[in-house]
Amino acid sequence: MLLFTSNFTKKIICINVFVYCWVFRAFAVEYHISTNGSDKGSGSKLCPFKTISRATTVTNPGDVVIVHEGVYRELVAPYLGGRSNNERIVYRAAVGERVEIKGSEIAKGWKRLITQGTWEICFLDSYFGDYNPYKVLIYGDWFFPMRPLHRGEIFLNGKALQEHVSWNCKSENGQTIITANFGDLDPNKELVEITVRPSCFYPAKTGVNYIKVQGFHMSQAATQWAAPTAEQIGLIGTNWSKGWIIEDNVISDSKCVGITLGKDRASGQNVWSADMSKDGADLYNEMILRVIDAGWNKDNIGSHIVRRNKIFNCGAAGICGSFGAAYSQILDNEVHDVYTRRNFYGAEMAGIKFHAAVDMVIKGNHVYNSFIGLWLDWMAQGANVSDNVFENNDYVDFFAEVNHGPYMVEGNLFSSAFSLRDWSEGGTYRKNYFAGLISRAPQDRVTPIFKPHSTEIHKVKRIFGGNNVFIANTFAGGMGVQPMRSKMHTMDQEDLLIGYGLAIYQNAALPVKSRRNKFKEQAKPLIIQKNQQRNN
């Protein structure tokens, strides 16, 4: 009888353990991170991990990672994602606590040189591991530097110093030497940080889906130029995945881009720079076919939400993405002070820039001091741009480039000197306020038209221009002075057709409709012609 009881008891214990483990995994596990923790701990609130990266090795769909106050100098590279919107992996800052993730390290041990205010520091190359941003240059398709620029950056008390102006670097004999001018300050007594990581939050592989990142301050990453024909690594990026939520973060001081919802590497990496004898548009059309063959569709890629973030001090773009942002929502973000140094030329600089903005919603954002406010380049089919505020963007507020449409632009305030650069067709503009100039230029590029709400190509067609509808907009007409637009690159030319109002569409190749619009000051309406319809 005792033997029976003993065996029976053992079975009950085993069943209880199994049930406990099943229940434990059936519900979300909450992991905690603290600068006072240990990566050998359990990750519980009482025994937190020390690094966020440690949590990435144990999380499963449905789990939550809560990071407590402090500075975390690491690249968080999740290897596993969630299963669905209801079973995502969440990384969030503890409520009411300031949590910083930095791509930099503190630099101590500066030696004073003879030149006034100049100091030097030396690192073994091994210090940087497999990524030394002071040995590699910013590089990529449609990037045109005025002089070589490294991906690294030096920060003095949180403010970035400019290469060739305040600092320089060289590598020799297995060492990296950085020379910087700190004026009257002693860098060993101040906070000097150098960027050493290519990102702050970026998955280790593609297809890490359904991640939520909330409430962090992320800054100081040595990011690379994010061409639409290359893998796009931002200070935080999704790496060719689906269903992320990036919300309520403060993202700043990226060498190039803040947030990337971008392309993968396998479909091509800076293909135009590899062979400039080919036309860039032809190469991109070839790439479109490759990404479609590789599974670029709504089931696999995109559908991200980026909302309520503050993004600033980014060298090239605040938010960008090629292909990987399709079906996404960009909501209520504040983006400012982008591409302010003007120490290079290129074709990817904007507060927000997307290629292939298929069925995207871009709503309620405030974009200012960002060269170009919003740039939708190729395949913005089904996109909705509404209720955004653009100001003090010295190139243009909205650049629509080689899109066939249809896309909707509604309820926006375009208050910069240049409101719209239109190299597209098929746009419906409703109840917008255009304070500045509008320009357009005929295009000879051939771009795809998709089947509705799909990434399946219906046909490929040249952009002729026109086929827009303008309803109940206000054209303020400027203040009597036509400002000069800033240059995007040395080959950049002013559009031949430029003015206030809609008169520039007078002889558009495709009909343009105008109804119930208001024209003030110098703004001129569209004059009725055979190929156009108007009811001003």
Look at residue 515 and tell me whether its pLDDT is greater than 60.
yes
Identify the pLDDT of residue 490: 73
Contact of 256 with 140, CB cutoff 8 Å = no
Q: Report the pLDDT averaged over residues 412-432.
A: 97
- Nearest-CA neighbor of 213 among 359, 52, 43, 374? 52
Identify the pLDDT of residue 277: 86
Look at residue 108 and tell me whether its pLDDT is greater than 60.
yes
Identify the pLDDT of residue 5: 40
CB-count exposure of residue 345 (10 Å: 0-12, 13-18, 19+): middle
Residues 310-321 have pLDDT tens digits of 999 999 999 999
* One CATH from 3.90.1150.10, 3.40.50.300, 2.160.20.10, 3.40.50.2000 for 212-519: 2.160.20.10
Identify the pLDDT of residue 2: 36
Look at residue 370 and tell me whether its pLDDT is greater than 60.
yes
Identify the pLDDT of residue 26: 57
Lowest mean pLDDT among 2-6, 83-87, 134-138, 527-531: 2-6
- Quick check: pTM over 0.85? yes
Identify the pLDDT of residue 516: 97
Q: State how far the Cα of 423 lies from the Cα of 440, in Å rounded to an integer.
A: 6
Look at residue 274 and tell me whether its pLDDT is greater than 70.
yes
Look at residue 155 and tell me whether its pLDDT is greater than 80.
yes
Look at residue 534 and tell me whether its pLDDT is greater than 50.
no
Identify the pLDDT of residue 259: 99
Identify the pLDDT of residue 447: 97
Identify the pLDDT of residue 479: 63
Identify the pLDDT of residue 25: 52
CA distances from 270 to 187, 274, 354, 489 (A): 38, 7, 17, 18
Q: Report the pLDDT averaged over residues 340-360.
A: 96
Look at residue 270 and tell me whether its pLDDT is greater than 80.
yes
Look at residue 532 and tell me whether its pLDDT is greater than 60.
no
Look at residue 480 and tell me whether its pLDDT is greater than 80.
no
Identify the pLDDT of residue 27: 75
Contact of 308 with 248, CB cutoff 8 Å = yes
Q: Which residue has the tokens 């998709």?
A: 450
Look at residue 484 and tell me whether its pLDDT is greater than 80.
no
Identify the pLDDT of residue 459: 95
Q: State how far the Cα of 325 lies from the Cα of 359, in Å rounded to an integer.
A: 10
Q: State how far the Cα of 7 lies from the Cα of 18, in Å rounded to an integer.
A: 17
- Nearest-CA neighbor of 487 among 405, 418, 407? 418
Please count the CA atoms within 13 angstroms of the CA of 445 that sit on its side-chain side.
22
Report cis status (omega within 30 of 0) of the bond before 228.
no
CA distances from 243 to 127, 306, 327, 329, 419 (A): 36, 10, 10, 10, 32
CA distances from 141 to 92, 338, 349 (A): 35, 19, 13
Identify the pLDDT of residue 528: 65
Identify the pLDDT of residue 495: 87
Q: State how far the Cα of 451 lies from the Cα of 435, in Å rounded to an integer.
A: 35
Look at residue 251 and tell me whether its pLDDT is greater than 90.
yes
Residues 12-29 have pLDDT tens digits of 433 343 344 444 455 789
Identify the pLDDT of residue 58: 98
Q: State how far the Cα of 31 lies from the Cα of 451, in Å rounded to an integer.
A: 44
Contact of 395 with 374, CB cutoff 8 Å = no
Place 11 in a pLDDT band, splitting at 50, 70 and 90: very low
Look at residue 7 and tell me whether its pLDDT is greater than 80.
no
Lowest mean pLDDT among 17-26, 319-328, 358-367, 394-403: 17-26
Look at residue 527 and tell me whether its pLDDT is greater than 70.
yes
Counted residue by residue, the chain has a size of 536
